[in-house]
Structure formats: structure tokens, C-alpha cells
A and B are shown apart, each in its own frame.
Chain A
């Protein structure tokens, strides 16, 4: 263990900031999903994710996953980026959970490795788990990558999410980016003043104290933001400008989503 908790954390920050940029870029591409009204997309995609979560049959989940891939191509998302950011990560995570199920699920043994038997039920269960997660994660990532964050939040109103929550989410997101940059700057300036190695205790103290300073900065910023809001006339009411308008293409998409969800729900039972 060396000082690389610092660089690891800094790398994590740049990854997060990079993702923010990529999402904003891909949301403004001229693709299929980007052209849809955010409300239609939100409700449609959530319905599909729910269908994937409730489906009980493997072919249906594979079909939903394939649909996700087709939609990604149609929305001009890079499949390589999707594979790296979504599919591999979800696979690694789920496979780790699913692997022991091959052996632990009681059932008919189909293959033996040493003293352990892979059961048919175990293999099916692991496959179900992995495809379900892949399908759901692909569909929800498509929603996020093809919709500007502010539009996505405003569309949440259609799901009856309170205005205050939407305002809180919008503000949180904005300051996540700012505070990430602040923390990044603090770590980098500390790193540039460091010679030699810190031991575990010193590293812990460094991380925790940076956290403390960040919290002080956060609270100070909170007060400033409040004063700025006051100055601009904030009187305790949150108003959202929602100027979404449904167009012909959106009605087609609505019907398409409905047809897909009903088909998948019936076939997946």
C-alpha cells in the first residue's frame, strides 16, 4: 500500500467527470431516442425495465437485451463504450454473485467439477439473473444517455414526483460536479506537495481531513447559494418550465412501447 489511494481517488473523480461529459454529449446526438419527447421516453423505458424485471423466461430477456442493443445503435451510441461502461461492468458484478449458484442451487446435476456438481436449476438461475440485469441496465442506461439531465428531471413530473424533489435532484447534480472538482483540486494539490510515502494511519487522516474540509466548504457554499437564491427573488416556491410538446413521432413511439411491453409481458409469463 502506498500513496496510491490518493491517485486512485483522483482517477475515480476524473472517471465520474468524464462520464458526465459523455452523457451530455450523447444526449445531444441526432439519434432515434434523442428525438423523442422525454416524458414518452421515460415512461416507455421504465415500463420496459419493469417488464424485464418481472419476466420469467430467458428468451424474452434476451430479446429485450437485443432490443436495447438495436436502440443503442439507432441512437448513435458507441457500442464499444456501452460494452465497457455497462455490459462488462454489469456482467462482472452479476457473474460474481451468480457463480456460486451453479453449485449451491439444489437440483439435477448436469456437470461435475471435482466434488462439486453444477445443477441444471443452478445454471438456469444464474443465466436468468445475468440476462435480467443486463437487459434492465442496458435499457435504463439508454434512457440516461439519450436524455439531457434537466429534461429527464422535468419528465419525472409525469410520474408525480414532487416539484421539491425535482429541484433537489437538479441542484444536487449540479453541485456533485462542482464538489467533485473541488475535491479533485484538493487531492491534487496535496499530492504535488508530497515526497515519500504515507503510512496507513497518515493516509486515513489525510482522506478524512480532506472530507472534513470538503464538508466545511459545502456548508459555506450552501449559505452562499441560499443568499444568491434570495437575491434573485426565491420566495420558497419551486417552478419548473416545462415546454415539452408531443409530436407525431412521439405518438408512434408511445404505441411502439405499449406494444413491446404487452408482448414481452405476455411472452415472459
Chain B
């Protein structure tokens, strides 16, 4: 994961280095320190729980994606190195998921949803909340995928997973449950709250001062999102059933058992499906069973299609939300030109 993060850090440094010798050096450090401190804030959430925000939403809005990536990486590095709150070995992955992917996601969501919104419009607050919520959940999803592919990649001859023991089917729901409900909400509350505060008190910072121009449609952004959408399936291109994601019927047939045994380093598969699996199998039926629509024969292609469908659905929702809010803005503030 360090290898994946390094080029992004390098780009970010290059982009900020030109400015690094002005105010940016102290500003970046201080913003990183600020993020670190806000990560310790206990945020009470609707429903009675409390959560902590990372601050990546507001950092991306105020600093832009590149500087935000550096600031959050610095905060995470201090946390891991100095306070020992996250391992040194996982720092690369943490930074990639939260600082790098999170900053880009937050920035892109904020820009898209607030596109053409007036400085005072409520849509900007919603955009900030969505930016925080989307960024944290994307980070969590990435982390879950990283966990989930580990048993496929690293296991010993007896099928004992060497690192994280869960397949994608377990890791994704386990990780997302907490983030969709608690961590994501904490981040959304923090982003929206800080945005509102800054808009009122430091409007220049969030780009809504009277002088700040309303940005024009960043076409390149949609292009980049389309590219991401096309690239999404690369990470999950895998043939056959994922290790540990067997269906009960796989245990019933001899061929299925042979396949499981081969995938599990020749540990014999039981004659029948484990009773727990059989019971759970009927518990729910996913809208896209096995991630693959019926009419698609190839599993890999089905996976790909499902992933793209999922991302596409999110994009479509963002686009519709934007359209809807634009119309609302126009009707409520007839004087504004979007």
C-alpha cells in the first residue's frame, strides 16, 4: 500500500512544493495538527452514540485535494509514529484509503453537488455533508476490499489465512455497517458544521466570499469520474468463485468439492455444506445474486458489471441530487445565475 500511496504523495508534494516556501509550509503543518486534534473530538450523533470524524471532508473543501491529501497523511503519520495509534505497516494503506482516496472523493463530491450553487445556498451545506459521508464510506469500502482479498492472496498450505481471515463477503458488510451508520454520519456532521461556521465567519476560506467566482462546470471532473468507473472492476477481476465465498450447492457436487479443495491448498472439503452456511444461504437474496445478473454467464464479467452498476448508481444519485437542487435554487433565488 505504500507503493500505491507514494506516487500520489509525490504528485501532491510537487504540486504544493512551488508554494511550499510561502505560507504553505506552516499552513499545511498547522492544518494537519488541527485535523489531528479534531480527530479526538467526541461527536454526539443522533441516536445516542458518539463518533469521531477524520476531518477529510472539510480539509478537501478548504485546501483542495492535493494539499488535503498531504495534511491528512501528516496527521495519520503523527498518529501512527508518535502516538502509536495505528501500526507503521498499515500507515501506507491508511493514508491511501483515508487521505488520498478520501480527499479526492470529498473534493469531487463537494464540487459536483455544489456546482453553480449560490454562496448562501443550503445546497453547499448538503454538499459538504455528502462530501464527508462519501469520503469516509469510500475509505471504509477500500479498507474492506483490502481486508477481503487477503485470504485469497495469502494463506498457507492448510488454507489458514495468514493475515486478515475474512472474505469480501464478510469484510465488506462488517466494515460498511459501522461506517454507513456511525463514522460516516460523524464525518458528515463535522463537515457540514464546520462548513457552516466557516461560511459565516471566514467566507474566503470556503470559496464563497463575494469576490469568489462561482466555478464553471468542471467537465474534466466528470471525465475523471467516468474513467474511475471504467477502472473500478480492475481490482476485482478474478476467475471462479472467490475463496470462502462458496455457495451451499458447491459442496453438494463432487466437482465443486474438488474445486474448493484445490483452492484451499488440497484440504478436503466436507461432503455437505456446513449447516450454518446452508441456513444463512436462504436468509436473503441479493438484488444481484452472486453479484452477477442471470443473463451473464461469465462470473468475472458479472462481477465487473455489478461493480460498475453500483458505482453508476451512486453517481446517478449525485447527479440527480445536483439537478434537483439546481432547480430548487433557481426557483427560490430567481436573481442568481448559476
Contacts and interface: CB of A to CB of B under 8 A. Distances in A.
- The answer to whether A binds B is yes
Given A46-B88, A200-B46, A212-B197, A12 B160 contact: no
Contacts of A59: none
A158 interface: no
Interface stretch (B78-86, B98-106, B114-122, B228-236): B78-86
Contacts of B260: 106
A121 B159 contact: yes
Interface residues of A, number: 88
Interface string A146-189: 00010010000000001011011101111110111001000000
B222 interface: no
A101 interface: yes
A167 B25 contact: yes
Interface string B12-25: 01000100111101
Contacts of A216: 201-202
Contacts of A215: 34, 58, 194, 197-198, 202
B162 interface: yes
Interface in A189-247: 200, 203-205, 207-216, 218-219, 221-223, 225-226, 229, 235-237
A259 interface: no
A176 B25 contact: no
Given A56-B156, A209-B197, A104 B170 contact: yes
Contacts of A140: 84, 87-88
Contact of A222 (B30, B83, B160, B193): B30
Contact of A183 (B37, B246, B269): B37
A229 B26 contact: yes
Interface residues of B, number: 70
B87 A133 contact: yes
Contact of B84 (A5, A129, A137, A162): A137
A9 B42 contact: yes
B16 to A, nearest CB: 9
Contact of B81 (A133, A152, A235): A152
Nearest to B28: A168
Contact of B161 (A103, A125, A175): A125
A49 to B, nearest CB: 6
B48 interface: yes
B89 interface: yes
A258 interface: no
A172 B88 contact: no
B127 interface: no
Contacts of A222: 23, 26-27, 29-31
Contacts of B77: 169
Interface in B55-88: 58, 70, 74-75, 77-78, 81-84, 87-88
Contacts, number: 228
A5 B198 CA distance: 23
B36 interface: yes
B38 interface: yes
A50 B89 contact: yes
A86 interface: yes
A115 B87 CA distance: 36
A63 interface: no
Contacts of A171: 25-26, 29-30
Given A1-B48, A176-B33, A212-B193, A164 B84 contact: no
Contacts of B43: 5, 204, 207-208
Nearest to A202: B44
Contact of A104 (B42, B165, B205): B165
Given A200-B44, A207-B41, A212-B194, A219 B30 contact: yes
B34 A218 contact: yes
A183 B42 CA distance: 12
B82 A23 contact: yes
Nearest to A167: B25
A256 B111 CA distance: 54
A172 B165 contact: no
A30 B58 CA distance: 44
Nearest to A2: B44
B28, B30, B82, B194 pick with most chain A CB within 10 angstroms? B30
B244 interface: yes
Given A8-B50, A168-B32, A211-B38, A124 B160 contact: yes
B223 to A, nearest CB: 31
B138 to A, nearest CB: 21
A116 interface: yes
B40 interface: yes
A8 to B, nearest CB: 5
B181 interface: no
A172 B33 contact: yes
Contacts of A101: 161, 165-166
A218 B33 contact: yes
Interface of A: 1, 5, 8-9, 12-13, 16, 19-20, 23, 46, 49-50, 53, 56, 85-86, 97-98, 100-101, 103-108, 115-117, 120-122, 124-126, 128-129, 132-133, 136-137, 140-141, 144, 149, 152, 162, 164-165, 167-169, 171-176, 178-180, 183, 200, 203-205, 207-216, 218-219, 221-223, 225-226, 229, 235-237
Given A173-B82, A219-B205, 19 more contacts: A86-B84, A105-B159, A106-B269, A121-B161, A125-B160, A164-B17, A168-B28, A171-B25, A171-B26, A172-B29, A173-B33, A175-B29, A180-B40, A204-B189, A211-B190, A212-B194, A215-B34, A222-B31, A236-B21
Q: Which 4 A/B pairs are nearest by Cβ-Cβ distance? A: A236-B21, A208-B193, A212-B197, A171-B29
